[in-house]
Every structure is written in C-alpha cells, then in structure tokens.
Amino acid sequence: MELRPDLATRAVHAGRQDLAALGVHALPIDLSSTYPFSDLDGATASLDALVAGDQRAPNPVYARLHNPTVARFEDGLAELEGTAAAVAFASGMAALTAVVLAARADGGHVVATRPIYGTTDHLLTCELLGMEVTWTTPDGVADALRPDTALVITETPANPTLALVDVEYVVAQAGDVPVLVDSTFATPVLQRPAEWGAALVMHSATKFLGGHGDVVAGVVACGEAWARRLRQVRVATGALLHPLAGYLLHRGLTTLPLRIERAQATAQTLAARLLDHDAVAAVHYPGLEACDPTRLVGRQMDGPGTMLAFEVEGGYEAARAAVEHVSLMTPAVSLGSVDTLLQHPAGLTHRVLSDDARAEGGIAPGLLRLSVGLEGADDLWNDLAGALAAVEHLAVVA
C-alpha cells in the first residue's frame, strides 16, 4: 500500500505537479486578461466548457473565466483539505455569496449557527441574496430544518469566541442538506471538515492561507459537483481571484504548517497567563479544558490553534484601554498574519450585528480577539501585561 505523505510534505508540493513539464521551479504567474486563439471552434468549445463549470479548458479565453495560477492554488488547497476540488474567489464574502446563490436552486431557506463571522451574519440576516435564515445553536440544527432548507452554515472555531462545533454531529442532524463549515480559524493543518461529512469547507484565505497580511481572497473546498455550480456563479459574477493573489496564496501554503505550529505554541502560553491575570474576567481558547467540553481537540481538531479571545474586567472602556495601549501588537481587524493582531469584536468585526445577535453569540463589550503571530511569547506577554496594567489603572481611577 502506498503511504500518503504527511500534511507538511503535501503543503510544499501540492498544486505544483505541472511545474517540471513547464521547466520551472518557482510558481509562474499568468497575468493575461485575454488569451489569443487560432481555432475559433476550439475557442468556442473552451468558452462553453468554462461557462458550464469546468475548471480548465484548452483555451482560457478570458481571465474572468479561468486563470492557471489560481487553478494551481485551488488544486493545492483541495489536496490539503482532502476534497476533489476547490474554487477560489476575490474575497471570503464573495465565496460565501457564491455558495448561497448556488444553493438557491435547492430551496430558499438557510440554517446557520451563532456565533459566526459578523459579516456572514449580516449577509444572511439582511436577505440580500433572497434566502431566509433561521439562527440556531449547533444542538438545534435538526429542529430548524424545513422542507425548503438548502444549506446549513456553521463556523468552528467560531469567530470571535472560539466556540467549537462538532461537525459530525451537525452533519448528522442536517441529513441530506449540505453543510458548509467556515474553517478559517483552524486551516487544514488543524481541521479538515470534509473528513467529518461537510459538503463545503470555506476559508477567508486572506487570513492564515495567505499569512502575511497582503492578500484578500476566499476559497471553498468541495466535491466536483458543487465546484461546477460555484464556478458557474463565479463566471457570471466576475468574482475570480486575481492571479497575483493566487500566487501569494499558493506560496503561503508551503509554510502554513510551520506558521500554525509556532503560533499555536505561543497562543497556549498566552492563554495560560491570561487565565491568571486579575484584569481578565474570562479566556476563550480551545486548548483550555473548560472551552472544549466534548473534547474536539484531539479528535476533530489536531490542535487548539493560534486564535484566542479574552474578556477584560470593566467592559467596553476597559477593552478600549487595552487595545489602545499595546505597542508591539497591531490593533487591527483580520487575523492569521505573521504579526499579532488585537481587535475589539463588538466595535469592529461584529458591529454590524444587532445588540440581541451579539448577546446571543456571547460577544460581550469587554471581549477582545487576539490573533497570535510569530513574535516571541515573552515579548507578546510583556506587551499584553502593559495593556492590562492600563485596564487596572482605569479601574482604580474609576
């Protein structure tokens, strides 16, 4: 029996199978907006194939239909997720939009769990895409289903509280309804939802897959039938990922396991120290026993990850003081970069939610979300400790 290489090896080589035939070592970037043809019938056949959802055709025809640099990244990501295909988009929200639009053919209703990324919540709630949504907990998926339910959407670890969702359990409740899992926080290094029955695995590729804060993208890993539907939407809406972004993402895959492993070790250290700090009311991190009651880490997940959240004593004003007093960390939205990012969900990423929706998702005014980067653990802790000292000073003054 042929042994499959481990994920670190596959991350280096995935999607590069045609490079030797091309006679190159580094990934090529194809920036063409249009592709010449000498055979009109052949070009017409290629156009028909791409519009119908094929990933490739003998002639790419036009950059909105296909790009070979993007296709290599898609192949690489599919290899890491263990799916037949992947479809890349110009942003994570473009990817989600494409999935929802593709699902409309099967019904006008979506079931989604909270908490979830704030703009995902907003997009589903505002009914812009013509789908009605029922919000529920992971335990309530089965009861929320209707005859016209076309899709179940969940996120694990959830943004921003790091709440964990048992994908296999949700899939079992969903039955014949396909399940989309936003696995951005975990990446395929730590979690591969397709192994647990998810039909679609979505990433805001802007985050860990890119890893350097210099690309915006989204990608959905799935079977070929879903991929064809998603490509059809992408062709019609013009949401194809730019080739330069595709190149950066594919290059980022090679170091993804190393970046996750290093940042995860630091996150474990910071979570333990935050847990003992007097200015911290609660710490949310999958590596803490209280945050993983069903023991998904070690079963569904291969590690607790690099993301954590914590609540400071004193609510919004205390959280603001903490964010405004870091000097090494970057106070900014987004996550998964080589540098550490600290942000306030209630004021930024989840501000578009109603007060009730934030409360339902456990997004307190004093909650801060920390994306741990590659800096030294002690340096990051010293920065955090200084910020928390400002919180304690605020409490004394008050």
**Catalytic positions, written as ranges:** 64, 117, 182, 207
Report strand pairing: 85-89 vs 218-222. antiparallel
The candidate with the shortest Cα–Cα distance to 123, out of 88, 93, 153, is 93
Tally the C-alpha atoms within 13 A of residue 150's C-alpha that lie toward its C-beta: 16
Q: Which two tokens stand for residue 76?
A: 């690489």
> CA 122 to CA 128: how far, in whole Å?
9
**CA–CA distances in Å: residue 125 to residues 28, 65, 76, 153, 277:** 41, 30, 33, 13, 37
Residues 6+ apart with CB under 8 A from 242: 90
> CA 387 to CA 369: how far, in whole Å?
14
| 99 backbone dihedrals φ, ψ, rounded to 5° | -65, -45
Q: 298 — alpha (psi -120 to 50), left (phi > 0) or beta?
A: left
Residues 6+ apart with CB under 8 A from 90: 216, 217, 218, 239, 240, 241, 242, 245
Q: Kindly tell me the burial class for residue 218, based on how many C-beta atoms sit within 10 Å of its own C-beta (0-12, 13-18, 19 or more).
A: buried
Helix (H) or strand (E) holding 367: strand 367-371
